[in-house]
């Protein structure tokens, strides 16, 4: 098997106290998956909570893979046609939300993903891998003190952002990893 890394992050509340457990199993030099996943989880859920006008920027541009229906987004079983539609859903239909991630797992799916028109970085940099990211936690919709927490489960396939790799965008906050596929589900 090639370079792989498995990460589990578990945060549990016990009598108002939080216990944080991190388990990392590494094979060879795969630490970029941990860094990319942690950064993505932190920034994506912060955007859902507070910066909804940035949600579309977390998704791959359809032009990155012409002739496909990517990104593929499913929200509670309903297909969302575009990243812009996902952002509009959060801005106009979903009440104020507070997402609290309880745990996530990440795995390298393809260590040699090639972004068209880019110079392929060496595999050891981790800049050309695809990442399967599974996240679960709680979300409160509405006023935080009145809303009941609901459990959620979410899966992402993250790919390198062509704009970050090819240098097409010289923006300060360009994301290195973007969502190619996403499935969100409220579980209780």
- pLDDT single digits (tens) 2-22: 444 444 444 444 444 444 344
Enumerate the β-bridge partners of residue 155.
Answer: 134, 183
Given a cut of 90, whether residue 70 has pLDDT beyond it is no
**Spatial contact of 99 and 46, defined as CB atoms under 8 Å apart:** no
pLDDT at 12: 45
Return the pLDDT at 75: 95
pLDDT at 116: 65
User: How confident is residue 30, by pLDDT bands cut at 50, 70 and 90?
Assistant: very low
Model confidence, pTM? 0.77
**Whole-number pLDDT of residue 78:** 95
Which pLDDT does position 24 carry in this prediction? 41
| Mean pLDDT of the 20-38 span | 60
Q: HSE (CB half, 13 Å, CA atoms) of 22?
A: 5
Please return the burial class of 115, using the count of CB atoms within 10 Å of its CB with bins 0-12, 13-18 and 19+. Answer: buried
- Residue 156 CA to its chain's centroid (Å): 6
Q: Work out the pLDDT band at 129, boundaries 50, 70, 90.
A: confident
**pLDDT value of position 88:** 96
Least confident of 85-94, 96-105, 143-152, 161-170: 161-170
What pLDDT, on a 0 to 100 scale, did the predictor assign at position 15?
41
pLDDT for 122 beyond 70:
no
> Phi and psi dihedrals of 168, rounded to 5?
-65, -30
What is the per-residue pLDDT across 146-167, written as a single tens digit (0 to 9) for each? 889 999 999 999 998 877 765 5
Q: Which residues contact 159 (CB under 8 A, 6 or more apart)?
A: 60, 113, 115, 130, 177, 178, 180
């Amino acid at each position: 098997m090639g370079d792989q890394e498995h990460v589990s992050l578990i945060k549990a509340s016990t009598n108002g106290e939080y216990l944080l457990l991190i388990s990392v199993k590494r094979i060879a030099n795969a630490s970029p998956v941990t860094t990319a996943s942690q950064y993505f989880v932190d920034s994506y859920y912060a955007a859902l909570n507070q910066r909804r006008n940035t949600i579309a920027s977390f998704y791959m541009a359809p032009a990155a893979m012409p002739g496909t229906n990517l990104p593929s987004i499913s929200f509670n079983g309903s297909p969302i046609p575009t990243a812009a539609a996902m952002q509009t859903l959060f801005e106009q239909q979903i009440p104020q939300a507070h997402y609290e991630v309880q745990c996530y797992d990440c795995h390298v799916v393809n260590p040699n993903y090639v972004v068209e028109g880019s110079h392929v970085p060496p595999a050891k940099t981790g800049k050309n891998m695809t990442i399967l990211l599974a996240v679960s936690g709680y979300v409160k919709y509405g006023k935080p003190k009145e809303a009941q927490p609901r459990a959620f489960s979410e899966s992402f396939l993250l790919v390198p952002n062509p704009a970050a790799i090819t240098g097409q965008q010289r923006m300060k906050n360009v994301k290195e990893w973007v969502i190619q596929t996403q499935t969100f589900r409220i579980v209780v």
